[in-house]
Amino acid sequence: MTYEEMLAAVRGRVGRFAKYSDPDDLLDPACVRDIEGLWESNTESTPDMWHAAGMLHYARSLVNEHEPERELAESMLDRVRGEFPDIPSQLRQLDEAANRPVALYPHKVAVFTFMGSPLDEINRVIFSARHQIRASGTWRSRMDLVDALRLRFGCTGCLDDLDATLAAAIELMLSTPQPDPNYPEAPSVVGGLYQVRFGLTGTPEDLDESAEAFRKALATSPPAHENHPMHQSNLGRTLIARHIYGTTVPTDLDEGLALLATAVSTTPGDDPGLGTRISALQQAHHARFYRDHNLADLDAAVSLGQDAVQATSRDHPDHIERTLELSAVHLARYQATGTKQDRKTATALAKQIRRATPEGHPFHTLADQLINTAETIRP
């Protein structure tokens, strides 16, 4: 993140405390990460950095009563008192804020509208969500906090921010009675976050936790509910992933494929999630072919791959990946049957991807590998 963005994030926390007197915004571990991020954002320290970090450390020392942090703050501010002559009045404002009761943030925000926003704005959304919980305590306000924390992770990419999001989602799931109609959404979010963490760390237990959470979401989702196919697909995709990454559960592949088949058959044709579910079902048939060596699975994978590409607009971010998957299953069928048309189609699709992606892009590299394999392998 840029120096300017991190500077604004640190200053934003100081400003919110001066106005709303909320210690939680300062005691949040993310506050420390913002200070660290500020120092890492610039190769050379600046007076603004010393001032902003010093003010935030000083504000924190007022609420955590940690004398070493107060001493750190004063040493930082002493370096820039010449550049910032109003430091004494700024410190008095913080002293006064520490002695006032918390003032609730008056504005409720639509969390989803802040996707892609700068870190300071996202921090403010998190602050707002926490104050909405204080004001109303509704289930939706608590889910807004989860969504806001997820925005922060999307902005920083920091694993600690992902863990904070996951902790809030788990707390919401555990505190929501299963008969509550909102309940399925909570384990669904938890399952998705565990999958994200698995993608970052490769920890197998995260896939297990993801499958367990998605199973809870599916079990509590009424079959007639519009989200039921989504919950089936989420669990099915996780079971297939667990199989691919070396599961010890022998039923994962068959159960996952059956769930995905049902999800695809019950998803309306205009549902934006249809392409994703078809693609997942294609991958499941492809995986089962390598286990059972039944050509019917390869034929199904090719047909579903075509459907997935057709269900995905060309400007969709997943279009290239689904085209790549279709190329791969055509090549697999050529290896299994020797049908030259499959090799020709696989090569043509891979060349499309190579033209559509810059050299060095992962999909460009994979397309090159597919083309080279098609030229060298024999059935």
| pLDDT for 307 | 96
Q: Classify 181 in phi/psi space as left (phi over 0), alpha (psi -120 to 50) or beta.
A: alpha
| pLDDT for 120 | 97
Q: How far is CA 40 from CA 4, 73, 111, 296, 307, in A?
A: 12, 18, 28, 55, 47
In a domain, 367, yes or no: no
In a domain, 221, yes or no: no
In a domain, 181, yes or no: no
pTM, two decimal places: 0.91
| pLDDT for 249 | 83
In a domain, 70, yes or no: yes
SS3 255: helix
Domain residues for the domain of 89 are: 3-98
User: Which ranges in 136-251 belong to alpha helices (H)?
Assistant: 139-156, 159-175, 185-201, 204-219, 228-244
In a domain, 378, yes or no: no
Angle at 282 between CA 278 and CA 287, to 5 degrees: 145
In a domain, 8, yes or no: yes
Name the residue with tokens 């930082």.
Answer: 76
Contacts of 226 by beta carbon, 8 Å cutoff, 6+ apart: none
Question: Mean pLDDT, 10 residues at a time, over the chain (379 residues)?
Answer: 96 98 97 97 95 98 95 97 96 97 91 96 97 94 97 97 98 96 97 97 95 98 95 97 86 97 96 95 97 97 97 93 97 95 97 95 96 91
In a domain, 85, yes or no: yes
Reading the block at residue 1, the tokens are 């993140």
**CA-based torsion, 165, 170, 173, 175: positive or negative:** negative
In a domain, 262, yes or no: no
In terms of Cβ atoms closer than 10 Å to its own Cβ (0-12, 13-18, 19+), residue 258 is: middle
DSSP character string of 110-148? -GGGGTT--HHHHHHHHHHHHHHHHHT--HHHHHHHHHH
What total of structural domains would you count in the chain? 1
| pLDDT for 378 | 83
